Chain A
């Protein structure tokens, strides 16, 4: 069984300040972990993925995430928020490199304050 918990349903940051979106996971297997972003009325876009190659994963648009097995966490960060980052972010776990069903967190809505 696998699950993800996104610890914040809503995060607000000022433009130019760091972003931290928190995610904890649970998996019976060595998991693959993903962050997806969804802009209003759009589909899901992959930001980054972890598949056991390196614990610090860099993604698109300046985002990165660190896999910490001891803490079962996969938090998403960005050094400097941009207005275009305002969206819903989903932490996702899969047991088999994304081939099998994805289990989604409940999402974190990121608001950027000008």
Chain B
């Protein structure tokens, strides 16, 4: 089976812009979670989608949003980018059993 894929792998944006990141889960996995990784805050949970519905949400501002499509692919959107949004964004898929499998991440740099 193919693993979790994320596109794009690298992205450079400027403050105030918005960005959309994409995640394709492992085939058959219906749950997709998003995490932000920064040197200062470590790995933090953003949100989780299951069957097109947001099931869990972390403590991030409303500028961070997501959605999931009927084929379980998920997108994450960040509006009005700030310098502090520079991070590695990781997506993980789960077949509602036990283990979350992570993609390689999208590295976002905000200038």
**B98 → chain A closest CB, angstroms:** 5
Is the CB of B45 closer than 8 A to any CB of chain A?
yes
**A108 → chain B closest CB, angstroms:** 12
- Give which listed residue, B42, B48, B96, contacts A104 with CB less than 8 A: B42
Is the CB of B43 closer than 8 A to any CB of chain A?
yes
Is there contact, CB below 8 Å, between A46 and B101?
yes
Is the CB of B100 closer than 8 A to any CB of chain A?
yes
**B64 → chain A closest CB, angstroms:** 14
Rounded to whole angstroms, the CA-CA distance of A101 and B55 in the bound complex is 10
Q: Which residues of B contact A43 (CB under 8 A)?
A: 4, 90, 102-105
Q: Which residues of B contact A51 (CB under 8 A)?
A: 98
Q: Is the interface of A mostly helix, strand, loop or mixed?
A: loop
**B61 → chain A closest CB, angstroms:** 17
Interface members, chain B 34-71 (any A CB < 8 Å): 35, 42-45, 48, 56, 58
Rounded to whole angstroms, the CA-CA distance of A49 and B92 in the bound complex is 16
Contact with A along B67-92 (1 / 0, CB 8 A): 00000000000000000000000101
Is the CB of B7 closer than 8 A to any CB of chain A?
no
Is the CB of A11 closer than 8 A to any CB of chain B?
no
Rounded to whole angstroms, the CA-CA distance of A98 and B103 in the bound complex is 16
- Give which listed residue, B42, B101, B105, contacts A106 with CB less than 8 A: B42
Q: Which residues of A contact B102 (CB under 8 A)?
A: 36, 43-45
Is there contact, CB below 8 Å, between B45 and A49?
no
Is there contact, CB below 8 Å, between B94 and A98?
yes
Q: Which residues of A contact B104 (CB under 8 A)?
A: 42-43
Rounded to whole angstroms, the CA-CA distance of A105 and B58 in the bound complex is 16
11 sample A-B contacts, Cβ–Cβ < 8 Å, listed by A number: A34-B99, A42-B105, A43-B102, A44-B102, A46-B100, A99-B98, A100-B56, A101-B48, A102-B35, A102-B100, A104-B44
